[in-house]
A and B are shown apart, each in its own frame.
Chain A
């Protein structure tokens, strides 16, 4: 995806793989990746407010808070999880498993 140095703690980057948009987040040194699509109304999700302390992202449209570690919503109106993707760092480069 990119060198690890380009995604420091607290940062998020959007990447595309085919038709799928994926948000990759650095939560205090641990990487998480979720699909950029809220399960509530299919709106964009990853560019919502990212809280590194709780490792959550808030959907900018209706406020559902998603746990980046599981993809599960912690608040309504979303109730279904979003897709998550495995991440790894290989030779200082972030790798996504899609």
Chain B
């Protein structure tokens, strides 16, 4: 599981251009972040990594790096 590939997958989920998202950025700060993006994100994580993130862990994640680390741990 590579961070670059993970970010590319997130860019698809967020429908943002390639290279427009970075590991240190808080993912909730993007304009595209809404409940539909959340559902798309959950589906991507389940589909690509067979991971479901419990709500408490999800609330604790701030940056893309946090999400990557959490997914890696749960995988």
Real binding pair = no
